[in-house]
Each structure stands twice: as C-alpha cells, then as structure tokens.
C-alpha cells in the first residue's frame, strides 16, 4: 500500500482581518484524485485550503489557510509519503504585512506591496528522496513551455497542464508532460474520470512506489 | 406585499484571470433574511456574489461577480423595491487594471495599485425615494462610532453592526443602530433567528412599506 500526499484547494493571503487574495480553486480535482487513490487501495493524505466540498471519509485531511501553512504541513507529511500530487492552487503572492485591524476606506487609493510566497512543490522537489512528484500548472498563454519550465524549476517528475476553465468546474482538460517535454496523455472529461486515468498513468510510471511492476 | 432587495455574499476583484481580492462572506445572513421575508409573505430579490449556499427557490436571484456588477444590478432593481438589506460584503478595493493573462512569478515583489470600488449602499442612499435602507457594517475597532459614520455616509435608515466572527459562520451577534445613534436591539444566535428578529424590527420601524400599521 502506498501513501500519497495530495495538496488541494486554494490558499488565502490576508491583507487585514477581512480581505484576502485567493483564487477559485474548488478542491474537486484533489477530491477526485483522493477517490482514485483510495479505490485502488492506497492511502490518501490531503492538505487542503478552505473549500466547500467534502473529501472522502477514508482520507486523512489536514486543513490549512495560507501558503505558509501549506508548506509547513507538507514538509511534515512528505517524508513519510511515497509520492504526491500538487493539485492545490496556492496563492503565490502575499502582502508584506497583514494589518491587525480592518483597513478603513479613506477615499484615496491603496498601494499593496506583495512578495512571493514560498513555492511549496519546489521546496518538496529539493528534498525528495524516493518520492515521485506530480505537479499541476495552470497557464493562460505559452502553456506547454511554461508548464515544462515549472516542471524543471520544481524538480517534479510529471506536470499536468490545465487552463483557467478548470477552476471551480466539474470538467477539465489536461495534458500530462514528462521532463523530456513529451505529452504522455491528453485527458478530457469529468474530473473523476480524468483523475482515475491520471492515477492509472502514475501507477505505470512509478510502479516501484506501488510495490509491483505494474498496478 | 412588499418587494425587498437583499444584497448578499462577497464580490471578487480580479488582478488577472486567476487571482482576486475577496472576503469570506458566505451569503448565509442574506439567505436567512430572504427566508424571513418570504415566510412573512413578501418578495425577496437577491443580488449575490459567488457563494456555495442555495437561496430559497421562491427568491428572485441575480448573480454577480464584482462590486461594479453589484452596483449596476442594484441600480436597476432598487427603484421597484420598497426597501433593502445591504448584507453583501463587497470588495471595496480593486486593482487599477486587471491583467489579461496570468501574471508570472519573476522572483521579485509586485506592487498592486488599488483604488476604491463604488460604495453601493451610498449610491442607493443618494437616490432613494420612499425606500428604507438597512446597511450592515463589519468593524474590528471603534465599532459603534464607525458604524454610525457609515450609516450617515450611506444615508441608511438603520445599520446592523457585526464583527469578523460573523463571516462564514452560522452564528452571529449584532447591534441595530438608528441615525440618532441609539441601539434599538442587540441580537445574538443562529443567523436564521437573528434574521427573523431583525426583519420583525424592520416591519415595525417601516410599517408604511408593508401596507399596515404593524406586521
């Protein structure tokens, strides 16, 4: 039995106690992958930002809020896992500081100085031992080139490229790209079906993790 | 029968096709007020940002995304209504421009120039005729003073003061304040109960809208 880490959902980066930066990630692809993992008899460990969906009861779920929380939780869980799907859409910028009180409107503008949050997958990619890492990339232009650059920067083993239409949707369309830039699969349909096919591909690619030559 | 406008939920202000500023408003207080309005035999017209909850099937629901959308929809609906509850938590800052493509990380910071979005309730307050307006204020400090200033600036008839704990919660605790600064009610409990008590208070205060001396 393999133990698979799945990051899922969005993260939030707060400007003040009320307002935050985020995105519309719903957690549905993370849930679909957890279901595929569990149905195949493996363990799903989910680190998830705030989502409205329910994860499978068999999954071990660790809720987080910010990208920093996501990193901390993953650093603690990753060493005991055999591989991971980085499906979360972490907010990758944060205000330099979060105001302790709600910012009041003054009638004039506001300059928000943002800095990048840590790249969670790249951090895990830099410390991985036996684990495989499947990252996700959401791109709106030069999609394949950017996805492959991300794969390299994150030291991932595969990258799953999708577009913004996948956010907060039940459907998706993805390309699975390897470090050589080859498109191993082009999957389209319900997230549950795409997740099942993606997990089957992962079991073939990283058969060593699943204790057998092919699953 | 009175026709009551209810704004509900958060709005989103996009930086690029993926990232946006928002808050955790769930739409639950808006839904609870719509239920109270419908149960009392009146019409509920809801203008709502993106929420995961379902509104009552009897309500007329107008979905919107940004604060600008909220304003436009309210300007069109408000003249035919008898009063309104401004329960939405509109995002009150927006980036000066929204990038057409997803912003790529560069390794350095990002300066986001924000400007204020229109104050929807204040705009409606400036054109109101026979309508009553109940605004909501979420404050984290100097709560009563700020709430009363908001009531004046928005030309509202009552303001309902709550704290950040009410966001994305099933419970709430509110004070209902009139233009003279008097606290007319201090309500606490499930949002459905607080909404029913608040609507009863509104029917007493603005009995003319409901076609009788008391409802």
CA distance B65 to B48: 8
CA distance A90 to A12: 8
Say if residues A2 and A83 touch (Cβ distance below 8 Å): yes
Q: Using the 8-state DSSP alphabet, how is residue B15 labeled?
A: S
Between A19, A102, A114, which is nearest B112 by CB?
Answer: A114
CA distance A39 to A200: 11
Q: Do B21 and A23 touch (CB under 8 A)?
A: no
* Residue A76 burial (C-beta neighbours within 10 Å; 0-12, 13-18, 19+): exposed
Whole-structure pTM value? 0.91
Going by pLDDT thresholds of 50, 70 and 90, the confidence category of residue A213 is very low
Taking any CB pair shorter than 8 Å as contact, residues of chain A touching chain B are 15-24, 50, 52, 89, 91-93, 96, 101-102, 104-105, 107-116, 119, 138-141, 146, 164, 167
Helices and strands: H and E segment counts in chain B: 5, 12
Q: Give pLDDT, residue A15.
A: 93
Q: Is B23 a catalytic residue?
A: yes
Per residue in A141-164, pLDDT (tens digit) is 899 999 999 999 999 999 999 988
Per residue in B87-141, pLDDT (tens digit) is 999 999 999 989 998 888 888 888 989 999 999 999 999 999 999 999 999 988 8
Chain B positions in Cβ-Cβ contact with residue A167 (cut-off 8 Å): 18
Q: Considering chain A, what percentage of its residues have pLDDT values greater than 70?
A: 98
Q: Considering chain B, what percentage of its residues have pLDDT values greater than 90?
A: 83
Residue A136: name the closest of A150, A116, A126 by CA: A150
Q: How far, in Å, are B120, B167, B203 from residue B71 at the CA level?
A: 5, 22, 25
Q: Give pLDDT, residue B106.
A: 83
Going by pLDDT thresholds of 50, 70 and 90, the confidence category of residue B213 is very low
Q: Mind telling me the catalytic residues of A?
A: 23
Q: Give pLDDT, residue A211.
A: 75
Sign of torsion over alpha carbons A163, A167, A172, A177: positive
Q: Give pLDDT, residue A212.
A: 57
Say if residues B176 and B166 touch (Cβ distance below 8 Å): no
Residue A201 has pLDDT above 50, yes or no: yes
Per residue in A64-88, pLDDT (tens digit) is 999 999 999 999 999 999 999 999 9
Sign of torsion over alpha carbons B79, B80, B81, B87: negative
CA distance A20 to A91: 10
- Nearest CA distance, A143 vs chain B (angstrom): 11
CA distance A124 to A129: 10
Q: Do A105 and B116 touch (CB under 8 A)?
A: yes
Chain B positions in Cβ-Cβ contact with residue A111 (cut-off 8 Å): 111-114
Find the largest Cα–Cα distance for chain B.
Answer: 65
Strands B83-86 and A83-86: unpaired
Per residue in B39-50, pLDDT (tens digit) is 999 999 999 999
**Average confidence score pLDDT of chain A:** 94
> Which residues, listed in sequence order, are joined to residue B43 by a DSSP beta bridge?
B3
Sign of torsion over alpha carbons B23, B52, B3, B174: negative
CA distance A66 to A90: 8
Say if residues B91 and B65 touch (Cβ distance below 8 Å): no
Taking any CB pair shorter than 8 Å as contact, residues of chain B touching chain A are 15-24, 50, 52, 89, 91-93, 96, 101-102, 104-105, 107-116, 119, 138-141, 146, 164, 167
Q: Using the 8-state DSSP alphabet, how is residue A9 labeled?
A: S
Say if residues A78 and A5 touch (Cβ distance below 8 Å): yes
> Which residues, listed in sequence order, are joined to residue A44 by a DSSP beta bridge?
A4
Say if residues B161 and B143 touch (Cβ distance below 8 Å): yes
Q: Give pLDDT, residue B212.
A: 58
Q: Do B140 and A92 touch (CB under 8 A)?
A: no
Chain A positions in Cβ-Cβ contact with residue B26 (cut-off 8 Å): none
- Nearest CA distance, B37 vs chain A (angstrom): 27
Residue A215: name the closest of A3, A7, A42 by CA: A42
**Average confidence score pLDDT of chain B:** 94
Between A101, A107, A140, which is nearest B102 by CB?
Answer: A140
- In sequence order, the 6+-apart residues with CB closer than 8 A to the CB of B23 are A18, A19, A20, B10, B89, B91, B167
Residue B211 has pLDDT above 80, yes or no: no
């Amino acid at each position: 039995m393999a133990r698979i880490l799945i990051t899922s959902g969005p993260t939030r980066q707060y400007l003040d106690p009320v307002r935050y930066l985020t995105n519309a990630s719903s957690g549905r692809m993370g849930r679909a992958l957890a279901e595929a993992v569990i149905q195949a008899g493996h363990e799903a460990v989910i680190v998830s930002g705030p989502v409205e969906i329910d994860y499978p009861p068999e999954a071990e779920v660790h809720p987080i809020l910010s990208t920093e929380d996501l990193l901390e939780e993953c650093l603690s869980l990753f060493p005991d896992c055999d591989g991971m799907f980085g499906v979360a859409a972490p907010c990758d910028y944060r205000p330099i500081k979060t105001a302790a009180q709600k910012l009041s409107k003054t009638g004039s503008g506001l300059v928000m100085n943002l800095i990048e949050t840590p790249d969670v997958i790249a951090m895990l990619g830099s410390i991985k031992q036996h684990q495989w890492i499947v990252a996700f990339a959401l791109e709106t232009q030069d999609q394949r080139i950017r996805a492959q650059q991300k794969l390299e920067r994150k030291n991932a083993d595969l990258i799953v490229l999708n577009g913004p239409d996948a956010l907060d949707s039940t459907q998706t369309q993805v390309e699975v790209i390897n470090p050589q830039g080859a498109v191993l699969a082009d999957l389209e349909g319900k997230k549950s079906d795409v997740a099942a096919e993606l997990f089957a591909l992962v079991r073939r690619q990283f058969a060593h993790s699943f204790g057998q030559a092919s699953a």
